[in-house]
Structure 1
Amino acid sequence: MSVALLRRGAVYAFLSVAAFLSVFPFYWMAVGSTNQSPDIVRGKLGVGENLLVNFQHLMTQVDLPRVFGNSFLIAVISTFLTLAVSSFAGYGFEMFRSRIRERIFQLLLLLLSIPFAALMVPLFVMISRAQLNNTFTAVVLPGIASIFIVFYFRQATKAFPRELRDAARVDGLKEWQIFLFVYLPTMRSTYAAATIIVFMNAWNNYLWPLIVLQTPENKTITLVISTLTAAYTPDYGVILLATVLATAPTLVIFFVLQRQFVQGMLGAVK
């Protein structure tokens, strides 16, 4: 047996173990949502018959339509506004040259090193003075100008053909028309990748909504799951079912935009 064959076998074995370790938590979560809490504690790995009961218990404890509606509203608005603002900024940083452009951009990248925990108190004070506490606006506003997404769009814009911009200018298009009708369609894979990243971050956001959303009517799905785990005797079947339902939207969006996501992360421009 050749050394190359042994090496390939070792690589496949390692990848198989890594794939199992990655997929098993999702399998256990899905299977656990069909079992009773004692079966989950014992480590049962088979599919149970308690799915409908768990769903009924979840519905009695949580207003699912309202909670999912809140999460969808926050995630969709955050995604749209973040992509709009960050793509404008990334396009501008790359296309318009000035003496202080790089210094400003370096300052923005430096701000990435500041942890969110250090920003919570001043952000909360600003939101309180603006009388936006317990509103979806308070959740959405701090994340609109995402420095990481600005950086991502600027790096992707480096691959944007300058010839298209020059040709559009020759045809008489203004800068905003170039952005909307030339840049945006060309960079659709970049937008798809950014959509997945921003939507998942907004959907799974926990700490900041926990601080600014005080009433049960405005709670998101992540906050509701945390309240389910706070019971004296938590029902793990209900918790895992809620987790499965909370994970489903992000999985759907990822699989729908999977091909464009890979192209966008690789910097593909068509």
Structure 2
Amino acid sequence: MNFALIRRAGIYLFLSVAAFLSVFPFYWMAIGATNKSIDITTGQMTPGNNLVANFQSLAAQVDLVRIFGNSFLIAIISTILTLAVSSIAGYSFEMFRSRVRERIFQLLLLLLSIPFAALMVPLFVMISRASLTNTFMAVILPTIASIFIIFYFRQATKAFPGELRDAARVDGLKEWQIFLFVYLPTMRSTYAAATIIVFMNAWNNYLWPLIVLQTPENKTITLVISALTAAYAPDFGVILLATVLATLPTLVIFFVLQRQFVQGMLGAVK
């Protein structure tokens, strides 16, 4: 008996089952978007012919252009500002040495242990006193200085060749020029991986927008899907179609940056 062959067959069987369990929810979501609500509740597993009707029903209930515009605006601005602030902070923590540097960084890591639920009330009070309630900036500002992304950039910066920085200094470049013209192009895979993480977090953010965005015209897609599920008689076909549409932007960004994402997570520097 070939035990190596049996072992390999077992590995492939396990991976096949894991892949099925991972893909099936997406298959069910896509199939459900084409069926009527009654067909979904009865467990129909084949595509239906109700996709257009579901879309028309969704468009009649929701201003899709405005809602997706809100989500894209918040996600894009949050991503740009978070990458800018967090990458500069991560670069600075690694490149500039001081006596208090490690203590400050350890304090930041300690703050990761504080649950967001404990911060919501004081954060909401700050936003209210700044008259930012029911604005997109109320959603964006608390996400800019991401401790996890700062930690991620600092760890990635450890792989940044010090010779490049020294050569740039010899050529007369200032520190901000080294960061923009040497560090940033070299760490593009790290930025790609961080872009996916930050964009997905901003796009899927639910709890904090639910608290600070109080009017229907400022709602994001995650809040709209939640409102659809809260109906007295929810239309599951419409809900699943909205979920599919909400998933597409993150899927597109992931597949476009997939190669750089893997390189960035492995700490590759080019």
Query: What TM-score, normalized by structure 1, do the two folds share?
Result: 1.00
Please tell me the residue identity of whatever aligns with 1:205.
N
Q: Distance in 1 between matches of 2:174 and 2:80?
A: 23
2:114 partner SS? coil
Q: Find the counterpart in structure 2 of residue 127 from structure 1.
A: 127
Q: Distance in 2 between matches of 1:251 and 1:111?
A: 31
1:71 partner SS? helix
Q: Distance in 1 between matches of 2:45 and 2:263?
A: 37
Q: Find the counterpart in structure 2 of residue 256 from structure 1.
A: 256
Superposition map of 1:103-118 within 5 A: 103-118=103-118
Please tell me the residue identity of whatever aligns with 1:116.
F
Please tell me the residue identity of whatever aligns with 2:91.
Y
2:196 partner SS? helix
Q: Distance in 1 between matches of 2:95 and 2:230?
A: 51
Q: Distance in 2 between matches of 1:224 and 1:233?
A: 16
Superposition map of 1:53-68 within 5 A: 53-68=53-68
Q: Distance in 1 between matches of 2:263 and 2:2?
A: 36
Q: Distance in 2 between matches of 1:156 and 1:3?
A: 41
Q: Distance in 1 between matches of 2:162 and 2:14?
A: 43
2:46 partner SS? coil
Q: Find the counterpart in structure 2 of residue 236 from structure 1.
A: 236
Task: State the shift of 1:235 in Å.
Answer: 0.2
Q: Distance in 1 between matches of 2:140 and 2:128?
A: 15
2:134 partner SS? coil
Superposition map of 1:128-147 within 5 A: 128-147=128-147
Superposition map of 1:44-55 within 5 A: 44-55=44-55
Q: Distance in 2 between matches of 1:133 and 1:240?
A: 30
Q: Distance in 1 between matches of 2:231 and 2:208?
A: 22
Query: Which deviations, in whole Å up to 9, do the C-alpha atoms of 1:241-260 show, x marking residues without a partner?
Result: 00000000000000000000
Q: Distance in 2 between matches of 1:202 and 1:119?
A: 18
Q: Distance in 2 between matches of 1:260 and 1:229?
A: 36
Q: Find the counterpart in structure 2 of residue 267 from structure 1.
A: 267
Unaligned runs of 5+ in 2: none
Q: Find the counterpart in structure 1 of residue 210 from structure 2.
A: 210
Amino-acid identity (%): 85
Q: Kindly report the root-mean-square deviation, in angstroms, between the aligned alpha carbons of the 2 structures.
A: 0.4
Superposition map of 1:64-213 within 5 A: 64-213=64-213
Q: Distance in 1 between matches of 2:43 and 2:141?
A: 42
Q: Distance in 2 between matches of 1:8 and 1:175?
A: 53
Q: Find the counterpart in structure 2 of residue 247 from structure 1.
A: 247
Count of residues paired in the alignment: 270
1:119 partner SS? helix
Unaligned runs of 5+ in 1: none
Please tell me the residue identity of whatever aligns with 2:43.
G
Task: State the shift of 1:5 in Å.
Answer: 1.2
Superposition misfits of 4+ residues, deviation over 4 angstroms: none
Q: Distance in 1 between matches of 2:231 and 2:107?
A: 45
1:134 partner SS? coil
Please tell me the residue identity of whatever aligns with 2:20.
F
Task: State the shift of 1:3 in Å.
Answer: 1.3
Task: State the shift of 1:44 in Å.
Answer: 0.4
